[in-house]
A and B are shown apart, each in its own frame.
Chain A
């Protein structure tokens, strides 16, 4: 009863102000109190450690953190390695792999996800069964995906071996053992895992499109292709943006997939920057170099996220 009363009083500020009881003050403060711990944790463990990592990248930390600033030697070494192409330095391999993996992973996931969503959106029977089948891989951890694909792609165990046993002995697929192609197997496994999720996002978007617009276009004589090309896909623009952001950060933080699928690849040819960071920080005791590479990864993410946030926040007030 009294809660109703206080909330009614609160609705009219001129009454509430002078009679602000302890209780209503508490109610005002409650959200802040509840949020405070997670806010503090985020500040310390996310932003605090970002600053710490940036600081470490300017020291000469080896096995343990050292707090004496020694300049940008770590960055200079990374910069030098960026142009070490023959034989490729580990850092050069990592960033070129990031480019190949990032582009193909995002592009194929978007294309495949949209394609599957459009097919599923044709009011077909059994959609309720098909949708979870495509969505299910997202529920697996990268480690499971990696190990399963590792066995499947291994020429001595999986696909190639099976087809040989079935009689197709000329079949040859050893990308996972090949230094030039191993990164594409990471793309295959990554796409398999994420495209179903992207499909679900697009499907939700497609369901949200007003049927009236579609009908109007059909009456005006638009073909199905034109319908999708001119109306549906442009209307899905926000979904594209969200899907892109989800995929981009998944791509940049991919680490476990590479480890589980390739354990680094022949001669380290499947490394991504995250593998580089872990190797240098924890295995080679070059914490400063590892931190510098982490900072560069962060900058890459910032370069993607900030324009997105900027455009989002600018559009809101209108």
Chain B
């Protein structure tokens, strides 16, 4: 009896071992790209992997959305049950890398030449301690204006080149009885707009010092105070019902012509596309006035976990497919962002996409590509959220003056560091 049991166990473990040696032909992926356009874009990747014989398995996330996914990821990693890869943002990648749970893709990166083709600013987040730990999927940029062309023509406006031009344009819209500025009063949207305001008010050097290096003197400076004053100026042009509105509803106001302009990242273009609007004829994309030549970015990454050896081949296949030129082009055309490598041809992109690609390339070469603080690419989450708190409290009146806002900003960032 006992002998039989022993033999059985030996056989079973032998079988298990044999199975172990075989590579797992499956990619386990944690992500929150479930909406129509995003899911369609991701299907391109699924197809590419299927051609190489890898099955795709979504890690289910209850409730959807990035926060729920990150909570699920935390639980999985704590339990030692790593997915092949997970959609991740900015400092999250570095946090997990510091915790020692990320894999190493340096070999693949070398073979594929990522070092040269991926902008250096992005590598700050995808390379940890000299090792590639994540594959960037796209580059979003935040300092855009989205304008309804019909409304702009009706009020006789032109592209605003400076902040004062912009205010004059908003005044014109107000006089014509259109809501000048479509804003969703949620803290991340307000802070995203403030990123652009700071870049416009203080210039590229100032933005970098204040929001990437968290330099105390810059945060305290009069320029920062001026930025808050400019933000206050912009907030006078929103409709009274803006508080708590979702960003896509604000975009819809511009699409429908109820509002003239929205300051939002290029994911807003997805909404215009979904409404069958064409750039140049129905809507216009301009850089936020006074920020031409600089790009404030955020980027989606696929963080690659330190999976067991039998799952590494699938991981490499996923990473290679993610950064392949064909996928980068196909995915980003749909998503509204631009490719995470600068050597992808822009033939399939629309006018806004072409401008985005050219701007990214120029900003990368000119050193004016900066992480968005509001989107978590300027500083770790604790700081970024403290910043969003202050901006939001300023917009909604808990913080009353720009003097107070600057003091609070410095205090909050110090506290969170």
Contacts and interface: CB of A to CB of B under 8 A. Distances in A.
Q: Do A and B bind each other?
A: yes
Interface of A: 62-65, 77, 87-88, 90, 154-156, 174, 176-177, 179, 262-269, 279, 282-286
Is the contact region of chain B dominated by helix, strand, or loop, or is it mixed?
helix
A267 B380 CA distance: 21
A262 B244 contact: yes
Nearest to B95: A63
Interface in B367-417: 380-382, 385-386, 389, 392-393, 395-400, 404, 408, 415-416
B70 A88 contact: no
B230 interface: no
Given A64-B78, A90-B389, A263 B186 contact: yes
Contact of A268 (B78, B95, B187, B382): B187
Nearest to A155: B241
A267 B187 contact: yes
A268 B381 contact: no
Given A267-B187, A268-B392, A179 B398 contact: yes
Contact of B382 (A179, A266, A285): A285
B381 A285 contact: yes
Given A177-B242, A283-B67, A284-B381, 7 more contacts: A65-B78, A177-B243, A262-B244, A263-B186, A263-B244, A267-B393, A284-B416
Nearest to A178: B243
Nearest to A287: B74
B243 A77 contact: no
A176 B243 CA distance: 9
Contacts of A265: 244
Nearest to B391: A267
Nearest to A77: B415
Contacts of B185: 177, 266
B393 A268 contact: yes
- Among A87, A155, A265, find the residue whose CB has the most chain B CB atoms closer than 10 A: A87
A114 B74 CA distance: 46
Given A90-B389, A267-B187, A279-B385, A174 B396 contact: no
- Among B67, B71, B241, B404, find the residue whose CB has the most chain A CB atoms closer than 10 A: B241
A150 to B, nearest CB: 8
Contacts of B392: 266-268
B113 interface: no
A151 B242 CA distance: 14
Nearest to B239: A156
A87 B396 contact: no
Contact of B385 (A62, A262, A283): A283
Contact of A284 (B240, B242, B244, B385): B385
A174 to B, nearest CB: 7
A202 to B, nearest CB: 36
A255 to B, nearest CB: 13
A267 B396 contact: yes
A87 B399 contact: yes
Given A262-B244, A282-B67, A283-B67, A267 B395 contact: yes
A63 B400 CA distance: 33
A174 B240 contact: yes
B241 A282 contact: no
A51 to B, nearest CB: 17
B99 interface: yes
Interface in B53-78: 67, 70-71, 74, 78
Given A87-B399, A283-B381, A177 B240 contact: yes
Given A268-B392, A286-B382, A88 B241 contact: no
Contact of A179 (B78, B241, B397, B404): B397
Contacts of A282: 67, 70-71, 74
Contact of B396 (A64, A155, A176, A269): A269
A262 B187 CA distance: 13
A77 B415 CA distance: 9
Contacts of A88: 398
A154 B241 contact: yes
Nearest to B71: A282
B408 A87 contact: yes
Contacts of B399: 87
B187 A177 contact: no
Nearest to B400: A87
B244 A285 contact: no
B243 A266 contact: yes
Nearest to A156: B241
A183 B404 CA distance: 25
B263 to A, nearest CB: 18
Interface string B84-116: 000000001001100100000000000000000
Contacts of A262: 244
6 contacts: A64-B78, A64-B95, A65-B78, A90-B389, A268-B187, A285-B95
Which 4 residue pairs spanning A and B have beta carbons closest together? A267-B396, A266-B396, A177-B243, A267-B393
A267 B382 contact: no
B411 to A, nearest CB: 9
Nearest to B66: A283
- Among A77, A174, A285, find the residue whose CB has the most chain B CB atoms closer than 10 A: A285
Contact of A64 (B74, B242, B389): B74
